[in-house]
Chains A and B, each alone.
Chain A
């Protein structure tokens, strides 16, 4: 899930997926950009293998993982490395999340109150992985600067829809005009402060699509100064048929598709 999940997350968080080159003649609205992107992503299944490099002032570690996802609703992640954590799995169904610990053979349910906690010590949160709905369901998008791309980039601002419980007070995205690739996302808190930034890079052809294969999260809070988490997608396959049993609690222990 991480791979996939994260990829999805990346994409969804951005609200501005990776994909697509739209040959639009008319100027695109923010909503259009997002919905096209989401149309493309939703209903897709995705497999990925990814490497996550977590850097802090005190330590650095690298995780590798396989992940599978179906839309944004279901995902499954399996840790491959480090060896000590091999076989740790995560299952996300809708807004629920479970974590299997092979060393003690126990499943831990991650409660909703823990959604903003760090995922495996990274700068991604559980919420990043377990988002149950899409950006367009939660946020209203708006093009900044009267919709005219500046320096070849669209600038989008996303504010939460009323009555939606969301984590961020506002999101901002820089999106490349030529192929609608997200370049940067900024996450704001209620005080209008940037809490973290995500940078998208290394756009590569993966199967039938071009996607950013390197995503870097940098917290901007004083407390997390000096931390970064980098997610590198090494292998991605879209639209593979996935076994229905994949997204079940039973499969947590088996840990295989």
Chain B
């Protein structure tokens, strides 16, 4: 074995150019995988972070049935107590309360189904980006209780502009008719078409009064300092709720509240996996090509070895060891190269110029940052090693069929 290993090592360096070319192909394949996975993970992270910041927030406290039933009466009564509970948590950096009330929204002879959202203007600006999405007019103001911020699409459909009046008509928590006038103080484009088409923000106290909620709220929204701690904070919140015996409250993370964000990304991930698969196939054929070329160049050499008494089995092992030597050196180089690339993109980002508008629609910036992970290096290395091993099978099987006499005459 150690003899074979020595021969293999010498063989590798007997044709340095050939070996280096093969290694370069393999290293490049590994490196590109690491970089691609880094960019993908990074952009998904950005997409999710931006998307949840539009409205959902990282975490919410809700009545346990509210997510499914969305009933006006499924409320959080102890708003102040829950606010204190959230603020006492480590990592929670912003908290805001909301009420949601479905209602008809009407202006002149146009009426559409809308969603009224009562928010605390200042606190809301800390948990969501809605204040920054104002297109015309201005954001909400507590001093203007009946001033509303209306989705741009809804405003257009209603035919209203800043300064116009709209009527809402819904049902209070007591079942009574809730209807009143609001003045459009601003319009917003959030990037979420559903929100732009039906959303109407108004001050929390106004919504609570109009919909007979008596200080109760539907959602307590919280942001944490780092995306990756969301689930841990949610779990400790639920523990605290259980321990303190708080009834009818549950903590939910963004992916429980808006699974569609995650689903959209999973869908996108599927197409990315297909892309990776194609990339891997191309890489596999590239490696196969180099290995086969090397093999045909060496048929005469194999003939000589067989004639001198080497067994086919020894030759097969030799080839395998040679290939693996190449592959391991190449994968190591590829991992270093890929990690460097991924880390650079994580730090500096790649700017996709000319795509600003498109990206903004998806709630992301046009500069994409990678998110490097050692896991990517492992996945890339494993797949490349696996593919190379499979590819080596072809020459190994061919050695079994070599006729030494003919091989000696092979040019």
Contacts and interface: CB of A to CB of B under 8 A. Distances in A.
Interface in B150-189: 167, 169, 171, 173-177, 179-181
Chain B: interface size category: 20 to 34
A111 interface: yes
Contacts of A85: 176-177
Contacts of B106: 106, 108-109
A88 interface: yes
A108 B104 CA distance: 9
Given A58-B71, A58-B73, A101 B179 contact: yes
A104 interface: yes
Contacts of B104: 108, 110, 114
Point out which of B109, B110, B179, B180 has the most chain A C-beta atoms below 10 A from its C-beta. B179
B175 A104 contact: no
Size class of the contact patch on chain A: 20 to 34
A99 interface: yes
A108 B111 contact: yes
A61 B171 CA distance: 12
Chain A interface, >50% SS class: mixed
B214 to A, nearest CB: 13
Contacts of A60: 175
Given A104-B167, A109-B109, A111-B111, A84 B176 contact: yes
Contacts of B69: 223
Given A59-B175, A82-B176, A121-B175, A113 B181 contact: no
B73 A99 contact: no
A143 to B, nearest CB: 39
Given A99-B169, A101-B179, A59 B174 contact: yes
Interface string B317-336: 00000000000000000000
Contacts of A109: 106, 109-111
B113 A113 contact: yes
Contacts of A108: 104, 106, 111, 167, 169, 179
B9 interface: no
B244 to A, nearest CB: 25
B111 A114 contact: yes
A241 interface: no
Interface string A29-40: 000000000000
Contacts of A54: 175
B167 A120 contact: no
Contacts of B231: none
A104 B179 contact: yes
B203 to A, nearest CB: 18
A104 B168 CA distance: 10
A101 B176 contact: no
Given A101-B177, A108-B106, 18 more contacts: A54-B175, A56-B175, A58-B175, A59-B174, A59-B175, A85-B177, A103-B179, A103-B180, A104-B180, A104-B181, A106-B167, A108-B104, A109-B111, A110-B104, A110-B111, A118-B171, A121-B177, A223-B69
Q: Give me the 9 closest cross-chain CB pairs, A-B, nearest first.
A: A58-B73, A108-B106, A59-B175, A121-B171, A61-B175, A101-B179, A121-B175, A106-B167, A111-B111
20 contacts: A56-B175, A59-B73, A59-B173, A61-B175, A84-B177, A85-B176, A101-B177, A101-B179, A103-B180, A104-B179, A106-B106, A108-B106, A108-B111, A109-B111, A110-B104, A110-B111, A120-B177, A121-B171, A121-B176, A223-B69
